[in-house]
Amino acid sequence: MKSDVVKVGFEKAPHKSLFKALGVLDEELERPLIGVVNSYNELIPGHMNLDKIAAAVKAGVRIAGGTPFEFGTIGVCDGISMNHMGMKYSLGSRELIADAAEIMAVAHGLDGLVFIPNCDKVVPGMLMAAARLNLPAIFISGGPMLAGIVNGRRVGLTQVFEAVGSVAGGTIEESALEEYIERACPTCGSCAGMFTANSMNCLTEALGMGLPGNGTIPAVYSERIRLAKQAGMKIVDLIKQNIRPADIITAAAFHNVICADMAIGCSTNSVLHLLAIAHEAGVDIDLNSFNQLSASVPQLCKLSPAGDHFVEDLYHAGGVQAILNELSKKGLINGDCLTVTGKTVAENIKSRSVLNHNVIRTMDDPYSPNGGLAILFGNLAPEGAVVKRGAVAPEMMRHSGPARVYNSEEEASRAIWSRKIKPGDVIVIRYEGPRGGPGMREMLTPTSSIAGMNLDKEVALITDGRFSGATRGASIGHVSPEAAAGGTIALVEEGDLIKIDIPNYSLELLVDEQTLQKRRDNWREPEPNIKKGYMSRYAERVQSASTGAILR
């Protein structure tokens, strides 16, 4: 076993003495030593129950004959860090999470790992670590939050942000926000819509690294505690069978994941994270992979913010396994892929039928014949840009309009709240990319303000930053190269015409090349926004969003 490096041989007497100081018995040391990687903290609602999940995991490990050791990672609540300096630190936390898990596992000679994530950067950070370490590993998330109810309508965090926009637009009174504050987030768990956390937890299941139900069983259901015990038991089996992430996280598995991504209509952030995970796994995918599958994979779900269903509805409709089963009917799923169940995808999904066709449409009656995400290319985004096509109104699928240019999220938000944005405008927010931000902030405040002011069917937004999965409308992010790297988005001037053609995967700045070259010659890279600490080092090493914002 891997843990022999800390417990076998007379020269390991000091090591064993330190285990004794922990209260560990000889009998426990003889078993597989399993790290329980828990992102629990008291700041994130999605992590509020992870102490209970960890306790259940450790019980399962002991039942199966292993010895668990729990340790923590950091985590950032994207909702709480939204629209201020804190959001610059969110994406960068992904790398620290991966590094922390790597350090703890290698330093202590662990045999296997159970990862317990539940929010936006924690899930991909842990998946990156699992792929990098290639120790037997399994994931058990904390589960999704239940939807809240305001004025008889089911709501989630999206509706709170949009209500702020409605206040700014004068369509509701500020006092109406109190009901949203009290009711919109009624339980622990990752926010109730198909935002980034739930997207990544569902895709972890589709990848084969989480047990069936990992992505959709609500956080407050006792079924999730039982699943956590099963995950603890299963890691011991994976160690005995020597099943490792490299056996599961394959090119064929990524095919399945991208198909699931398109069918569910996941967050645009999923593109960023899947590229980074594939890089760690040594699997070759790029942005073209998403468009190729998007052309052939229909969108089967419309979950909030794209529609009125929430993740709890997806759970009751059969969950991720039912979606994979439906996709398999048209030969879109590689059924031979191995999963952490020890079985193949085909074996897992065989009896998982769709239970509610209003939530999960059939292949013959999809919401859209194309996937929920699209990658746009053109002179404004030579390396690509990402849009959540499934959440765009039909009238905005093709749009041309004058650029309204802002060099930060704050500038743009002030303009929106001051009602300076008019129907037909294309808002451009730049210098918010991985390097320029730094940290590629999410733009939920401006996008939800536009929606709350009922402009989402008339106004587009383009940025080298990114969007929360809670964003809807013609919101195009991840524009690459970013402004701080001298990308075309840095050259856009007020009033320039921008043409968006989502069906044809196109994003064009309608300015001739000679004029752009003159602007390019006069462009100068701005001073860094953060000049010390972790994010200053991050800015020096981070690469384009088109790579997944991986580090050099």
115 close to 37: Cβ distance less than 8 angstroms: yes
Place of tokens 């891997």: 2
273: DSSP letter? H
Whether 267 is a known active-site residue: answer no
Q: Left if phi > 0, otherwise alpha if psi is -120 to 50, otherwise beta: which for 533?
A: left
For residues 190 and 197, the answer to whether their CB atoms sit within 8 Å is yes
- Cis-peptide, bond into residue 438, ω within 30° of zero: yes
Query: Containing H/E element for 148?
Result: strand 148-150
In one-letter notation, the amino acid at residue 426 is V
The residue annotated as part of the active site, out of 468, 475, 480, 546, is 468
Q: Which amino acid is at 326?
A: E
User: DSSP string covering 320-372, please?
Assistant: HHHHHHHHHTTT-S-TT-B-TTSSBHHHHHTT---S-TTTS--TTS-SBSS-S
Tokens of 406: 């802002």
- 331: buried, middle or exposed (CB in 10 Å: 19+, 13-18, 0-12)? exposed
What is d(CA 200, CA 217) in angstroms, rounded to the nearest whole number? 14
Cβ atoms 439, 88 nearer than 8 A: yes
Please answer whether residues 451 and 498 qualify as being in contact, where contact means their C-beta atoms are separated by less than 8 angstroms.
Answer: no
Cα separation, 139 vs 208, whole angstroms: 9
DSSP 189-204: SB-SSS-HHHHHHHHH
Q: Which of 78, 80, 166 is nearest to 451 (CA)?
A: 166
Q: Any idea which residues carry the catalytic annotation?
A: 468
